[in-house]
Amino acid sequence: MDIIINEKIQNAYNALYFQCAKTFPEGDLALIGKAFDFAFETLGNSVWANGEFVLFHSVSVAKIAINELGLSTDSLISALLHNVFGRNVVDFPFDEVKKRFGISVAEILDGIIKINSLNTDNLAFQSENFRRLMLALSGDVKVILIKIADQLQDMRTLDRFDTEKQKRYATDTWHLYAPLAHRLGLYKVNSELLDLSLKYLHPKDYEVIVEKLKESAVERASFVSAFVKPIELKLQSRGFDFEMKARTKSIYSIWNKMQKQKVDFHEVYDLFAIRIILNCEPVDEKSACWQVFSVVTEEYLSNPDRLRDWITYPKSNGYESLHTTVLGPDKRWVEVQIRTHRMDDIAENGLAAHWRYKGGKGGAEIDKWLKNIREILENPQLNAVDFLDDFKVNIYDDEIFVFTPKGDLIKLRAGATLLDFAYEIHSKIGDKCVGGKVNGKLVTLKYQLKNGDQISVETSNNQKPKMDWLDFVITTKAKSRIKASLNEEHKREAENGKEIIKRKFKNWKIDFNDLVIRDLIKHYKLKLAADLYFNVSVGKIDPLEIKELIVGKLEESQKEKLAEILPVQEVKDLAFDTSDDFLVIDNNLKNVIYKLAVCCNPIFGDDIFGFVTIQEGIKIHRVTCPNAKQMTERYPYRIIKAKWRNTGKRNSFQASIHIAGSDRNGIVTDISRIIAKEVGIQMRSISINSEDKSFDGTLRVFVNDLEHLDFLMLKLKNIKGVLSVSRSDS
Instruction: Give the pLDDT band (50/70/90) at residue 150.
Output: very high
CATH number of the domain that residue 179 is part of: 1.10.3210.10
pLDDT at residue 546 in the model: 84
Instruction: Give the pLDDT band (50/70/90) at residue 403.
Output: confident
Whether 475 maps to a domain, the answer reads no
pLDDT at 124 over 90: no
pLDDT at residue 580 in the model: 40
How big is the chain, counted in residues? 730
- The gap from C-alpha 120 to its chain's centroid, in whole angstroms, comes to 21
Label residue 688 exposed, middle or buried (CB < 10 Å: 0-12, 13-18, 19+): middle
- For 47, phi then psi, to 5°, come to -125, 160
CATH number of the domain that residue 459 is part of: 3.10.20.30
pLDDT at 625 over 70: yes
pLDDT digits (tens, 9 = 90+) for 52-95: 888 999 999 999 988 888 788 898 999 999 888 865 555 678 88
- The gap from C-alpha 113 to its chain's centroid, in whole angstroms, comes to 29
pLDDT at 530 over 90: no
Whether 62 maps to a domain, the answer reads yes
- The gap from C-alpha 61 to its chain's centroid, in whole angstroms, comes to 35
Q: Does residue 595 share a domain with residue 558?
A: yes
The DSSP symbol for 448 reads: B
Buried b (16+ CB within 10 A) or exposed e, 30-58: ebbeebbebbbeebbeeeeeeebbbbbbb
Report the range of poorest mean pLDDT among 35-39, 217-221, 263-267, 648-652. Answer: 648-652
Q: Does residue 58 share a domain with residue 25?
A: yes
- For 437, phi then psi, to 5°, come to -125, 135
Whether 206 maps to a domain, the answer reads no
Whether 477 maps to a domain, the answer reads no
E-strand ranges in 414-492 read 433-438, 441-443, 455-459
Q: Does residue 269 share a domain with residue 136?
A: no
pLDDT at residue 393 in the model: 46
Q: Does residue 222 share a domain with residue 172?
A: no
Whether 403 maps to a domain, the answer reads yes
Comparison of pLDDT for 217 and 120, the residue scoring more: 217
- The gap from C-alpha 204 to its chain's centroid, in whole angstroms, comes to 34
pLDDT at 717 over 60: yes
CATH number of the domain that residue 719 is part of: 3.30.70.260
Report the range of poorest mean pLDDT among 133-142, 419-428, 521-530. Answer: 133-142
Share of the chain above pLDDT 90, in %: 22
Number of structural domains, the chain?
Answer: 6
pLDDT at 407 over 90: no
Q: Does residue 531 share a domain with residue 497?
A: yes
pLDDT digits (tens, 9 = 90+) for 301-317: 998 888 888 898 887 76
Interatomic CA distance for residues 583 and 599, integer angstroms? 20
| Cβ 455 vs Cβ 424: under 8 Å | no
Report the range of poorest mean pLDDT among 161-175, 256-270, 384-398. Answer: 384-398
Q: Does residue 371 share a domain with residue 329?
A: no
Final residue belonging to a domain, choices 360, 391, 407: 360
Final residue belonging to a domain, choices 469, 502, 517: 469
pLDDT digits (tens, 9 = 90+) for 647-682: 666 677 888 899 998 888 888 888 888 887 765 688
pLDDT at residue 244 in the model: 93
Buried b (16+ CB within 10 A) or exposed e, 303-320: eeeeebbbbeebbbbbbb
pLDDT at residue 586 in the model: 55
Q: Does residue 175 share a domain with residue 102?
A: yes
The DSSP symbol for 125 reads: G
Whether 476 maps to a domain, the answer reads no
Instruction: Give the pLDDT band (50/70/90) at residue 632.
Output: confident
Report the range of poorest mean pLDDT among 57-61, 286-290, 511-515, 658-662. Answer: 511-515
pLDDT at residue 401 in the model: 80
Instruction: Give the pLDDT band (50/70/90) at residue 469.
Output: very high
Q: Does residue 223 share a domain with residue 331?
A: yes
| Cβ 455 vs Cβ 403: under 8 Å | yes
Q: Does residue 215 share a domain with residue 194?
A: no
The DSSP symbol for 381 reads: T
Instruction: Give the pLDDT band (50/70/90) at residue 358.
Output: very low
Helix runs in 83-216, H state only: 94-101, 103-116, 127-137, 141-156, 163-172, 178-183, 187-201, 203-215
| Cβ 547 vs Cβ 510: under 8 Å | yes
How many helices, marked H, and strands, marked E, lie in the chain? 29, 20
pLDDT at 322 over 50: yes
pLDDT at residue 573 in the model: 46
Final residue belonging to a domain, choices 201, 236, 271: 201
Cα 595–Cα 600–Cα 605 angle in degrees, nearest 5: 75
pLDDT at 123 over 70: no
Share of the chain above pLDDT 70, in %: 81
Whether 243 maps to a domain, the answer reads yes
pLDDT at residue 615 in the model: 66
Interatomic CA distance for residues 122 and 72, integer angstroms? 32
pLDDT at residue 566 in the model: 53
Q: Does residue 628 share a domain with residue 529?
A: no
Residue 85 identity:
F
pLDDT digits (tens, 9 = 90+) for 263-283: 888 887 778 889 999 999 989
pLDDT at residue 671 in the model: 86
pLDDT digits (tens, 9 = 90+) for 52-64: 888 999 999 999 9
Whether 609 maps to a domain, the answer reads yes
pLDDT at residue 120 in the model: 52
Interatomic CA distance for residues 569 and 563, integer angstroms? 9
Most confident of 285-289, 409-413, 617-621, 647-651: 285-289
What are residue 321's DSSP bridge partners?
Answer: none
Sheet holding 694-703, edge to edge: 682-691, 694-703, 653-662, 722-728
pLDDT at residue 576 in the model: 41
Q: Which long-range contacts (CB under 8 A, 24 or more apart) does 420-428 make?
A: 420/449, 420/473, 420/474, 420/475, 420/477, 420/478, 421/449, 421/455, 421/457, 422/457, 422/459, 423/473, 423/475, 423/477, 423/478, 423/481, 423/482, 424/475, 424/477, 424/478, 425/457, 427/477, 427/481
| Cβ 411 vs Cβ 316: under 8 Å | yes
Interatomic CA distance for residues 498 and 532, integer angstroms? 8
Q: Does residue 268 share a domain with residue 171?
A: no
Q: Does residue 658 share a domain with residue 638?
A: no
Q: Containing domain of residue 533, as a range?
A: 486-539
pLDDT at 51 over 70: yes
Average pLDDT of the residues of the chain: 81
- The gap from C-alpha 730 to its chain's centroid, in whole angstroms, comes to 59
